Amino acid sequence: MRSYPLPLALTARLSPVVVLAAAGWALTSGPFAAEPEAAAPQAQARTENESASAPSASAAAKTYTGAPAPCGSVSPATVKALVPGARTAGKEIPSTDTELRRTCSWNALKGYDYRWLDVSFEITDSDEAAQKSYRQRVEDRSGGGDVPGLGDAGYSVVNLTTEDEQKTREGVVLARVSNALVVVTYNGSDFETKEAPGSDEINKGAIKAAKEAVAALEDGRKG
């Protein structure tokens, strides 16, 4: 069989060195409450001690305080079905803060068929912050549609790109669960025909992985 060179973008994805695009990504909390201008020394000391011992309102309101292990969020059977030939254990991508963001990737080239799957968890300071981020991402990826029953809100979009005559079809699913965001990216190419998998295949695969990731997030909190 002839050997077909990989397009530059896909060759980069197959490289063992993965750079997280979200480096430097950080979350901030709300402003501190102002102290009374004139307070008696004893009363002020008592207030400071109470504030130090009691949890903040914003912290108490958080449903999720940390990102779950992403490589265990999708079942081995699903990995085998969506990414034939990939190691089911996956590969976690380095993050600047694993409490706030964690991502796992699976990719493989079997014959001429290439598949790539990413599952990412992001934890924000509040439900409102997650809602704002979710809405912005949906606006940035217009052309898709809602996914009923996926977390508090779910959205899916599929796009086709062509580079060096090679077509790649990619599906992205976004889900918000309280103050957490789940982002799934799934794409594929056929290097023999230079075509891409059908939209239905990519969309259903991405949604399946997203449903399992959301369930893993929710189950982690119950545990």
For the chain, which domains are there? Answer: 68-222 (3.40.1000)
Question: For residue 119, what pLDDT band results from cuts at 50, 70 and 90?
Answer: very high
Question: For residue 211, what pLDDT band results from cuts at 50, 70 and 90?
Answer: very high
**Which run of H or E residues covers position 93?**
strand 91-93
32: alpha, beta or left, given left = phi > 0 and alpha = psi -120 to 50? beta
pLDDT at 220: 78
* Span 141-197, pLDDT tens digits: 999 999 999 999 999 999 999 999 999 999 999 999 999 999 999 999 999 999 999
* pTM score of the predicted model: 0.73
* Span 87-104, pLDDT tens digits: 999 999 998 898 899 999
Nearest to 170 by CA among 182, 183, 180: 183
pLDDT at 35 over 80: no
